[in-house]
Amino acid sequence: MALDVPEGFAQASLSWMLTGDPEPMIVTFGVGTFADGDPSAMAELLADGWESEFGAPGTLDEYTFTGCRVSLQDTPSGPPVIGEASRSTVGTVTGTTLPQNCALLVRKNTGLGGRSGRGRMYFPPFAFPEADVSPTGFIGAPLTGIQTAMSAWLVSVSGMYLFHDEALSIAPTVVTSLTVDNRIATQRRRLR
């Protein structure tokens, strides 16, 4: 099912490459319009915000943050306007990474109740080595720092939104907080 981005909003995508994996790992989220509606400027600001919280010192050396792409829907119909911010930030944290089908689960919280008021993002496990994960999948010592950085990153986003299915007739909802799950998640499609 294709995502319908409402007029005046955008879908942002952060991307990483893992050494030895030919495919990028991508995380998407909704944003409101900022930076005078220039998608290239929006992408630059979002990439800068990410790097200020999770730059090279917050990333394993097997991951490279490759940037941000913004697809802005500035008209009711028609194609979105695209902006990109390329990066090539290689992590400096040493340690063996988890398999690429493992993920850092981050919950998007809003002021709405029920299932329609929540969302999720699955980040690659870029921020902690395998040694910091228990045999049952619980993240150890790095969890507190990751949560602090995710909360600070949300502030830098300038308005993250949760988009809803058109059938629900709910306007995009502001994400009020991010919660990092203390247990890793999996993405079956990422492991070939």
Domain range for 178: 9-190
What pTM, to 2 d.p., does this model score? 0.91
The residue among 129, 150, 156 whose CA lies nearest residue 141 is 129
The verdict on residue 38 lying in a domain is yes
The verdict on residue 1 lying in a domain is no
The verdict on residue 3 lying in a domain is no
Whole-number CA gyration radius for the chain? 16
The residue among 161, 170, 159 whose CA lies nearest residue 116 is 170
The pLDDT tens digits for 49-86 are 999 999 999 999 999 999 999 999 988 888 999 999 99
The pLDDT tens digits for 109-166 are 998 888 878 899 999 999 999 999 999 999 999 999 999 999 999 999 989 999 987 6
Tokens of 103: 């993920």
Amino acid, res. 155: V
User: Total domain count for the chain?
Assistant: 1
